[in-house]
């Protein structure tokens, strides 16, 4: 079964750090761009970052550039999001997604990040 | 950034009736390869988003044929030929032409 499972969310104080993970299974992970999308409570979807198959190209939304780092380990079939200098406005459910022909065809169940003092 | 604007934002529909959602982009999503880089997603209550339509009009695997996507350039439409109870949720359009990828505000479909 093709599957993505996120983990690593939790409660963190403003200015703190968190590392999200996304474990992929059921497909050849190294063949796909991968993406993080987030959704603040009661709000819409916001693209956060994407990474190319070999990690050579990474893209970020302006609001997280310089604070978040997307990475991957193809040997471990895993995607990561290192989040530093967290702000209250980063509070959201974070989803990882597989990119195919410009679309995100597989999504994980999401992991909640709460930034609060 | 490309701004995506959906309408309506709320859509009450009687089961069995058709429904239509509009999505407009602030610049053309038609790439030189001939494809429109516009996707549609449905987020059912309490669930992750799911892909319905990609490249403007291609139905994703497993998506019922009552869902269809059309349009080109800056104007796109998602149509549901006969709404069923399981279609309830929030529908999002998304442009994948240029970074940053951007989503519409979402359209909440509810059953009358």
Nearest residue, CB atoms, A101 vs list B55, B99, B104? B55
User: Is residue A21 within 8 Å of A79, Cβ to Cβ?
Assistant: yes
Q: What pLDDT, on the 0 to 100 scale, is given for residue A102? A: 84
Is residue A57 within 8 angstroms of chain B, CB to CB? no
Q: State whether B104 and A44 contact (CB < 8 Å).
A: yes
| CB < 8 Å to B103, chain A | 44-47
Q: What pLDDT, on the 0 to 100 scale, is given for residue B99? A: 95
pLDDT single digits (tens) A9-44: 999 999 999 999 999 999 999 999 999 999 999 999
- Interacting residues of A94 by C-beta distance below 8 A, sequence separation 6+: A6, A9, A20, A36, A37, A38, A48, A81, A110, A111, A112, A113
| CB < 8 Å to B6, chain A | none
A106 has a pLDDT exceeding 90: yes
A31 prior amide bond cis, ω within 30? no
Nearest residue, CB atoms, B54 vs list A101, A108, A109? A101
């Amino acid at each position: 079964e093709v599957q993505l499972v996120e983990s690593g969310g939790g409660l963190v104080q403003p200015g703190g750090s968190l590392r999200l993970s996304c474990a992929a299974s059921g497909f050849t992970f190294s063949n796909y761009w991968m993406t993080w999308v987030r959704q603040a409570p009661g709000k819409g979807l916001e693209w956060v970052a994407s990474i190319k198959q070999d990690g050579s190209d990474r893209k970020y939304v302006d609001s997280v550039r310089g604070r978040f780092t997307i990475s991957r380990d193809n040997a471990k079939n895993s995607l990561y999001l290192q989040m530093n200098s967290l702000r209250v406005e980063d509070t959201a459910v974070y989803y990882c997604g597989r990119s195919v022909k410009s679309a995100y065809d597989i999504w994980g169940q999401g992991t909640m990040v709460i930034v609060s003092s | 950034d490309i701004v995506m604007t959906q309408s309506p934002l709320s859509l009450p529909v009687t089961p069995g009736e058709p429904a239509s959602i509009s999505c407009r982009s602030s610049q053309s999503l038609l790439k030189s390869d001939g494809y429109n880089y516009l996707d549609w997603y449905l987020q059912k209550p309490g669930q992750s988003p799911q892909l319905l339509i990609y490249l403007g009009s291609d139905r994703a695997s497993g998506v019922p044929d009552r869902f269809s996507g059309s349009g080109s350039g800056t104007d796109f439409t998602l149509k549901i030929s006969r709404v069923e109870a399981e279609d309830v949720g929030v529908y999002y359009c998304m442009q994948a032409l240029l970074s940053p990828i951007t989503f519409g505000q979402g359209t909440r479909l509810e059953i009358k």
